[in-house]
């Protein structure tokens, strides 16, 4: 089981831990300390030893930050965690604030009286974040100070050590490109940016570049390392020796120079000392990386991580692999939905049982490496919480005549899946059916769109909302995110969102997942993954157009909709031959023409 249903919060220990932290801050001459929910690689998931925010405050959400002052402290998290914050964090120790409505920088500006020194660990804030906090402290007459020794690590005596999972090689045949070929493209980007080197800090960029994978953190199969790519020399990779199997060492030595992680800081200083122009992505690189280069005399060139865009343009091999992964995942989804239709009406299922059975169906493919993220299985009103994660405490029965929303995905060696289906157990209300149909119209409008070169996610996102808008409805999340290939299920740079200003390019994989949420009642989301196609000529047209090919193959609940025959025929034709007779029989009915 890749998912746990425990809420790992030790909020009751916060009082003593906060006291220990404040003692250490006093010893360091600091008036405050910033505790982000981030590690030194700034990815979505962190290893247990990096759960500093949870250790200190009890808050176990996946995004947030705490500020500890001498006599006051606060925890910040976004709207999806409002209830969780209240449950996990002791209000006598911490104020709880909305991350967007009262951001931590604003809180600092309003709270500091002037003259304070606020410390932070420069490995745990990005350069952009550090710069924002510096401005906020400055406005209040206080000083933001990067501190080498993290006082939480000193106070957290049983902190788990960093992960050292063995590196796995990613076959060149699945990647469709060799590391040498990718390095050539990155070097060309360095030359274009006028840089002598680039520091890579994002684990999925490094995994992509060197065709490696790992198991350092949950759900995203990356290796936590840093790399320096040089214009005229082999790249350097800073990787713990324990991660290097014999095969990995042989593979990597052929394309890079290997160093232990503790040499990284010195290497940045050495790079700076040569006066080199160093490309650093301030939105993703730790502030310490920027500072080390700048303070040793290097010329920092700010720009996007040069791997992000090439990684997003999937190769033909990656797309073939992803299609195979989706076909495999579709078999598990068909079995799951068939099982659900049989079991749910009995009234015995709860959310945890649903999550367990779905993961089991995926595991039965014998090719599941991990789930892409903790499965969201929201029954009834829980379906209205877009990022709901079931715990033993929140677990809810799947009741008759209610909606069940299931958002899940699998990590397979050849691809990453992510699919959401909304199922009616029993009979839907007319309102449910009407709104489900509006959401589906949006999903289909996006999937059928043709668009010219240069079109961005912001241009496409409104088509997912159009039918809802006309009815006076809206949903408060983006329409889609980029997806990796046996990498992160959330990757940049393109997004289908109101602020997605990156142009879509052929080979980018994106989710297409409009929704509708009626708080306290039910929620709807329908998600397929799509890949950007083209540019292709259209008969009678003048300009080649991009479009989307749908990757996900799972039935959409006909009991909630109007017309879907063509898509369903394809689902049955492609998935039917892969499943056993009784599932095939069910699938045939589930995908039958609506008129029939």
Please tell me the distance from the alpha carbon of residue 262 to that of residue 258, in angstroms, as a whole number: 12
**Share of the chain residues as helix, strand and coil, in percent rounded to the nearest 5:** 40, 20, 40
Yes or no: say if 221 and 170 are a contact pair by the CB < 8 Å rule: no
Q: Is 450 in the site for a copy of itself (CB under 8 A)?
A: yes
Binders of a copy of itself in range 498-517 (CB under 8 A): 498
The three-class DSSP label of residue 538 is: coil
User: How big is the site for a copy of itself, counted in residues (CB under 8 A)?
Assistant: 31
Nearest distance, CB of residue 139 and a copy of itself, angstroms: 12
| CB 430 to a copy of itself: min, Å | 11
Asked if residue 414 lies in contact with residue 486, where contact means CB atoms within 8 angstroms, the answer is yes
Site stretch for a copy of itself (CB under 8 A), options 149-157, 306-314, 386-394, 467-475: 467-475
Nearer to a copy of itself, 375 or 456 (CB): 456
Residue whose structure tokens are 């209240």: 86
- Taking CA atoms, 12 is separated from 56, 88, 152, 288, 563, in Å, by 10, 9, 17, 33, 53
Tokens of 79: 């709207």
Our finding on whether 79 is near a copy of itself (CB under 8 A) is no
Query: Taking CB under 8 A as the rule, does residue 593 contact a copy of itself?
Result: no
Q: How far is the CB of 512 from a copy of itself (least distance, A)?
A: 16
Max distance between CA atoms of the chain, in angstroms, equals 76
Q: Is 171 in the site for a copy of itself (CB under 8 A)?
A: no
**Is residue 192 near a copy of itself by the rule CB under 8 A?**
no
Q: Confirm if 279 and 197 have CB atoms less than 8 A apart.
A: yes
For residues 342-363, one letter each, b for 16 or more C-beta atoms within 10 angstroms of the residue's C-beta and e for the rest, the string is: ebbeeeebbbbbbbbbbbebbe
Spell out, one character per residue from 526 to 545, where the chain touches a copy of itself: x when CB under 8 A holds, - when not: -----------xxxxxxxxx
Check the CA dihedral 422-428-432-438 and report its sign.
positive
Q: Identify which range of 154-162, 234-242, 332-340, 470-478 contacts a copy of itself by CB under 8 A.
A: 470-478
**Which of 315-323, 346-354, 451-459, 551-559 is the region at the interface with a copy of itself (rule: CB under 8 A)?**
451-459
Note whether 143 binds a copy of itself by CB under 8 A: no
Choose between 449 and 526: whose C-beta lies nearer to a copy of itself. Answer: 449
Torsion sign (Cα): 35, 38, 42, 44? negative
Q: What's the rounded Cα separation, in Å, for the pair 521 and 383?
A: 8
Tell which one of 49, 162, 462, 493 touches a copy of itself (CB under 8 A).
Answer: 462
Contact between 126 and 288 under an 8 Å Cβ cutoff? The reply is no
Smallest distance, a copy of itself to C-beta of residue 518, A: 8
Judged by CB under 8 A, which of 99, 384, 449, 487 binds a copy of itself?
A: 449
Residues 6+ apart with CB under 8 A from 439: 467, 468, 475, 514, 515, 516, 524, 525, 526
State which residue, 293 or 468, has the beta carbon closest to a copy of itself: 468
Query: Residue 470 CB, nearest distance to a copy of itself (Å)?
Result: 5
Indicate whether 524 belongs to the interface with a copy of itself (CB under 8 A).
no
Q: Which is nearer to a copy of itself, 176 or 523 (CB)?
A: 523
Taking the complex as a whole, the smallest distance from the CB of residue 170 to a copy of itself amounts, in Å, to: 37
The residue assigned the tokens 């589906």 is 440
Give the nearest distance from C-beta 546 to a copy of itself in angstroms: 9
Q: Which of 459, 521, 559, 589 binds a copy of itself (CB under 8 A)?
A: 459
What gap in Å lies between CA 254 and CA 99, rounded to an integer? 45
**Rounded Cα gap, residues 454 and 503, in angstroms:** 5
Part of the chain binding a copy of itself (CB under 8 A), chosen from 14-22, 229-237, 267-275, 443-451: 443-451
Interface pick for a copy of itself out of 76, 120, 361, 451 (rule CB under 8 A): 451
Q: What 3-state DSSP class applies to 482? A: strand
Strands (DSSP E) contained in 342-401 are 368-371, 376-379
Which residue from 250, 469, 562, 585 is in contact with a copy of itself, where contact means CB under 8 A?
469
CB 120 within 8 A of CB 26: no
- Strands (DSSP E) along 130-256, which ranges? 143-146, 168-169, 197-200, 212-213, 226-230, 236-238
Q: What is the rounded distance in angstroms from the CA atom of residue 282 to the CA atom of residue 293?
A: 13
Shortest reach from residue 548's CB to a copy of itself, in Å: 13
Spatial distance between the Cα atoms of 84 and 206, rounded to a whole number of angstroms: 34
Q: Which of residues 550-569 bind a copy of itself (CB under 8 A)?
A: none
Q: How near is the Cβ of 471 to a copy of itself at its closest, in Å?
A: 5
Query: In angstroms, what is the minimal distance from the CB of 173 to a copy of itself?
Result: 35
Q: Using CB under 8 A, pick the residue from 177, 433, 466, 559 that binds a copy of itself.
A: 466
**β pairing state of 168-169 and 212-213:** antiparallel
How far is residue 477's CA from residue 167's CA, in Å, rounded to a whole number?
35
The stretch among 248-256, 310-318, 334-342, 460-468 that binds a copy of itself (CB under 8 A) is 460-468
Question: What phi and psi, each to the nearest 5 degrees, are found at residue 241?
Answer: -55, -30
Closer of 98 and 521 to a copy of itself (Cβ): 521
Identified binder of a copy of itself from the candidate list 31, 168, 461, 527, rule CB under 8 A: 461
- Rounded Cα distance, 419 and 409, in Å: 6
Question: Hey, which residues between 472 and 501 contact a copy of itself (CB under 8 A)?
Answer: 472-474, 498
Q: How far is the CB of 449 from a copy of itself (least distance, A)?
A: 7
Q: Which stretch binds a copy of itself (CB under 8 A): 16-24, 339-347, 362-370, 466-474?
A: 466-474
Distance of closest approach, residue 445 Cβ to a copy of itself, in angstroms = 9
Least distance CB 302 / a copy of itself (angstroms): 17
Among 141, 160, 275, 452, which residue sits at the site for a copy of itself (rule: CB under 8 A)? 452
CB of 307 to a copy of itself, least distance (A): 27
DSSP, res 298: -
Cβ atoms within 10 Å, residue 478: 19
Q: Which of 4, 135, 274, 470 binds a copy of itself (CB under 8 A)?
A: 470
Does residue 323 sit in helix, strand or coil? helix
Residues forming contacts to a copy of itself in the complex (CB under 8 A) are 448-452, 454-456, 458-463, 466, 469-474, 498, 537-545
């Amino acid at each position: 089981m890749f998912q746990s249903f425990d809420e790992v919060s030790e909020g009751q220990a916060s009082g003593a831990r906060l006291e220990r932290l404040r003692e250490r801050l006093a010893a360091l001459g600091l008036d405050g300390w910033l505790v982000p929910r981030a590690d030194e690689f700034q990815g979505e998931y962190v290893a247990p030893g990096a759960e500093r925010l949870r250790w200190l405050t009890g808050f176990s959400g996946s995004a947030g930050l705490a500020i500890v002052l001498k006599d006051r402290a606060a925890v910040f998290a976004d709207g999806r965690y409002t209830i969780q914050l209240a449950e996990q964090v002791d209000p006598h120790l911490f104020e709880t604030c909305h991350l967007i409505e009262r951001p931590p920088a604003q809180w600092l500006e309003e709270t500091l009286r002037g003259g304070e020194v606020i410390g932070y660990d420069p490995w745990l804030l990005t350069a952009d974040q550090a710069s924002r906090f510096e401005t906020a402290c400055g406005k209040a007459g206080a000083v933001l100070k990067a501190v080498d020794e993290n006082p939480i690590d000193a106070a957290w005596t049983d902190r788990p050590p960093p992960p050292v999972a063995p590196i796995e090689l990613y076959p060149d045949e699945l990647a469709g490109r060799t590391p040498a070929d990718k390095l050539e493209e990155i070097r060309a980007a360095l030359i274009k940016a006028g840089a002598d080197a680039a520091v890579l800090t994002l684990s999925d960029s490094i995994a992509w570049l060197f065709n490696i994978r790992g198991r350092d953190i949950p759900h995203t199969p990356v290796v936590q390392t840093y790399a320096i790519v040089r214009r005229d020399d082999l790249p350097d990779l800073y990787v713990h020796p324990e991660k290097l199997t014999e095969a990995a060492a042989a593979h990597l030595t052929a394309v890079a120079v290997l160093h232990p992680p503790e040499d990284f800081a010195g290497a940045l200083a050495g790079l700076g000392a040569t006066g080199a122009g160093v490309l650093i992505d301030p939105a993703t690189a730790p502030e310490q990386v920027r500072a080390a280069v700048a303070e040793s005399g290097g010329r920092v060139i700010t720009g996007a991580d040069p791997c992000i865009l090439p990684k997003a343009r999937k190769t033909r091999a990656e797309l073939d692999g992803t299609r195979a992964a989706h076909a495999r995942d579709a078999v598990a989804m068909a079995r799951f939905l068939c099982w659900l239709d049989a079991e749910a009406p009995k009234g015995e299922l709860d959310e945890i049982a649903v999550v367990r059975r779905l993961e089991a169906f995926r595991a039965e493919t014998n090719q599941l490496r991990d789930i892409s993220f903790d499965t969201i299985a929201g029954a009834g009103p829980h379906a209205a919480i877009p990022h709901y994660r079931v715990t033993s405490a929140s677990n809810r029965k799947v009741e008759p005549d209610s909606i069940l929303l299931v958002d899940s995905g699998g990590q397979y060696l050849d691809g990453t899946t992510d699919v959401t289906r909304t199922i009616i157990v029993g009979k839907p209300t007319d309102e449910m059916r009407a709104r489900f149909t509006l959401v589906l119209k949006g999903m289909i409008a996006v999937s059928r769109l043709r668009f010219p070169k240069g079109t961005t996610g912001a241009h496409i996102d409104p088509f997912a909302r159009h039918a809802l808008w006309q009815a006076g409805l809206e949903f408060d999340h983006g329409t889609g995110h980029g997806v990796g290939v046996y990498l992160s299920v959330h990757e940049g740079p393109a997004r289908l969102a109101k602020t997605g200003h990156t142009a879509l390019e052929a080979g980018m994989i994106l989710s297409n997942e409009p929704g509708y949420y009626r708080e306290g009642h039910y929620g709807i989301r329908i998600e397929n993954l799509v890949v950007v196609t083209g540019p292709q000529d259209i008969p009678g047209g003048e300009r080649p157009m991009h479009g989307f090919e749908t990757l996900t193959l799972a039935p959409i609940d006909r009991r909630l909709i109007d017309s879907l025959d063509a898509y369903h025929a394809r689902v049955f034709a492609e998935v039917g031959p892969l499943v056993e007779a009784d599932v095939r029989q069910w699938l045939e009915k589930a995908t039958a023409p609506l008129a029939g």
